[in-house]
Amino acid sequence: MKLSRLRCRTGNDVTDAYLEGDARIRAFYDYGFDQASLKRRSFDVAQHYDETQRDLLLEAIREQLSNATEIQRAQWERLRDPRALVVVTGQQAGLFTGPLYTIHKALSTVALARQMEQEMNVPVIPVFWVAAEDHDFDEVASAHYVSDEGTLRRVSLKTRPVPRTPVGIHDVPAREMRGMLEQISADLRDGLYTADLVAELNTLHAAHSRMGTLFQKTLQAWLGEFPILVIDPTTRAMRRAAAAAFAQVLDEKEDPAGRSSRRQGEP
């Protein structure tokens, strides 16, 4: 499969102005989206965080690679390089990975990381951050698709999570998953890949019933041929890695990115 990167206007004037380097907007941000700004950002991050934190992160990610493909595991190996940078995107842990733009985000991040690696001459790893700590269940509880008859159909979760808990730790009941997949099978009975898709989703749910992990493993499987790390931040190891970074930010007496005293040494 060939990936081509296209830049289109977003429709949001502020976002478009930022991406185009408009000086009227640039003053409100520490970094622009041009190559020089990204290099400066990478320098600031490298000065602020040490290899101990990278090691914590690597260990936390390694625990999540049990179902990863070889090309995905290779990104973990590349992340061990002390020069390595990441390009991060993310999305809430939606039912069946949520809207189609979830896939578009992931593929765009792969393409952007590839471009940044060529321009900056260092390893750049694409990362998909599963926003499993989100609490908006109604936003992620449904999935839409087009039936064989060309009508828009929807399946939805009925059982709600415990109040004030992250959506990502909600267990999807087996009976609800079975009912949704039966409806999808009936609506897409003429689909060339319907049987394989339903079987794969059944298998994934049987092994991973929590919404966050199910989202992660499904996206990981569907993007198996692409070099991207899909990360669930709710694991104990990831929380330990995050806690170390948060503690450093809270203890830092200067700007959180370490810029105020370090810019004199920038390349």
Written as tens digits, the pLDDT of the chain (267 aa) is: 676 766 678 889 999 999 888 888 888 998 988 888 888 988 888 887 778 888 999 999 999 998 899 999 999 999 999 999 999 999 999 999 999 999 999 999 999 999 999 998 999 999 999 999 999 999 999 999 999 999 999 999 999 998 889 999 999 999 999 999 999 999 999 889 999 999 999 999 999 999 999 999 999 999 999 999 999 999 999 999 998 888 877 887 555 554 444 433 344
pLDDT at 198: 96
The phi and psi torsions of 28 (rounded to 5 degrees) equal: -90, -5
166: helix, strand or coil: coil
Tell me which H or E stretch contains 206: helix 194-207
- Measured from the Cβ of residue 192, the count of other Cβ atoms closer than 10 Å reads 8
How much is the pLDDT for 192?
92
Which tokens in the block code for residue 209? 């019933």
Helix axes 70-79, 51-62, angle to 10 degrees: 160
CA atoms within 13 A on the CB side of 224: 9
Alpha carbons 246 and 240: distance in angstroms, whole number: 10
pLDDT score, position 71: 97
Asked if 130 and 90 count as a contact pair (C-beta separation under 8 A), the reply is yes
The residues, any chain, with a CB within 8 Å of residue 14's CB and separated by 6 or more, are 25
Contact between 200 and 208 (Cβ < 8 Å): no
At 264 the pLDDT is 37
Element (H, E) at 4: none
Q: What is the DSSP string of 97-116?
A: GSSTHHHHHHHHHHHHHHHH
How far, CA to CA in Å, does 84 sit from each of 22, 55, 59, 177? Answer: 29, 13, 16, 39
Dig out the tokens for 48 from the structure: 């602020």
Question: Which H or E run includes 140?
Answer: helix 137-140
pLDDT at 68: 94
